[in-house]
Structure 1
Amino acid sequence: MSTSQTVQQLQAQLVTPENFRRYGQVIFASTDGKAFDVEDAQLNLQNGTPRFYIMRLHRKGRSFHKITRHVQCTQCLGSLEGKDWLIAVCPPHNDVNEPALEEIAAFRIPGNCFIKLEVGTWHAGPYFDHEFVDFYNLELSNTNVVDHFTHDFLKSHQLKFEMA
């Protein structure tokens, strides 16, 4: 018995602080010496040792079928060298153990900002068309070991996503 797969297209919208608010924050450059305020990343890193590092990803493309969340910390991601990239997100409904399919959205992130994912925000990415992109990543040192919850839409819904 064969199972058919569906590919759902997600139209990526250019990220803004307003359209990304359900998922986290968008942080743009500010003047040196500006006082800390709500436009700065509101971080939650108290549940462990923060880890700030650069990760190199190769040829990620635009399609996915798994989405992940972290419930113990916020996560910040940004590309180096001004390269644009894509991410799919779903709001953090932390009382539910799977993402709400109808609430998944895709965003194009320009290379002049970074995003902070709210605690529990489901995310798939970063994705991109470049040969490789270096990303800075701020999370906890053990996030990918003890705080990495993944939902597989291929298994649950025979579904893949492609960002346009």
Structure 2
Amino acid sequence: MNETQILKRISAQLITPVLFQQYGQVIYPSNDGNFYDDNDAQLNLNNGIPRLYIMRLNHQGRQFNKITRHVKCTQCLGSLAGKEWLIAVAPPSFTNKPLPEKIVAFRIPGNCFIKLEVGTWHSGPYFDDEFIDFYNLELSDTNINDHETCNLLSTHNIQFEINLIDEKFNY
């Protein structure tokens, strides 16, 4: 970062279905045999071949200056082995770049996963472990044909850093 760039710190709040509603869904375990309902991930994978894979991510710190969206599908992310992690999001949009003041961060416990709504801007996952494996459900070509990234340094001269509200959240 140079001296004209702004470092904006945002605090990660613990995710809840209500707080995350405009960005997607929080999915918790349900008993086997339950019928499909609104608590299940409401997926949009109609525009291609679904891809479920385990994605290994290495530690990258908690700073970011790029944020991405997918407009052809929903995306589901969750950590394996019960690991907690962080993600930054901005509301879905289809014509505009995200506004920096709309970017928020969430702390995701290891007992759930998230579904990002079509068009939701996101950056992460972030964590302090050396690496974490994540399951990722999207389309087979999402990272090729449906991956729009906004460089926040170029568009707004801002770099973000995610901080924790609750110090009990240790990695």
TM-score bracket for the superposition, by shorter chain length: over 0.9
Does the 8 A contact of 1:90 with 1:99 survive in 2? yes
Does the 8 A contact of 2:13 with 2:107 survive in 1? yes
SS in 2 for 1:136: strand
Within a 5 Å distance, the mapping from 1:47-126 to structure 2 comes to: 47-94=47-94, 96-126=95-125
Q: Which amino acid aligns with 2:104?
A: A
Q: Distance in 1 between matches of 2:154 and 2:93?
A: 21
SS in 2 for 1:11: strand
Paired residues, number: 162
- In structure 2, the partner of 1:131 is 130
Q: Which amino acid aligns with 2:21?
A: R
Q: Which amino acid aligns with 1:32?
A: D
| Structure 2: runs of 5+ lacking an equivalent | 164-171
Does the 8 A contact of 2:25 with 2:114 survive in 1? yes
For residue 3 of structure 1, report the CA deviation from its aligned partner: 6.0
Q: TM-score, normalised by structure 2?
A: 0.93
- In structure 2, the partner of 1:161 is 160
Query: What is the root-mean-square deviation in Å for CA atoms of aligned residues?
Result: 1.0
Runs of 4+ off more than 2 Å: none
* Partner deviation per Cα, 1:43-95 (whole Å, 9 max, x = no partner): 0000000000001011121110000000000000000011100000000122x
Q: TM-score, normalised by structure 1?
A: 0.96
* Partner deviation per Cα, 1:118-146 (whole Å, 9 max, x = no partner): 00000000010011000000000000000
For residue 4 of structure 1, report the CA deviation from its aligned partner: 1.3
Does the 8 A contact of 2:100 with 2:156 survive in 1? no
- In structure 1, the partner of 2:40 is 40
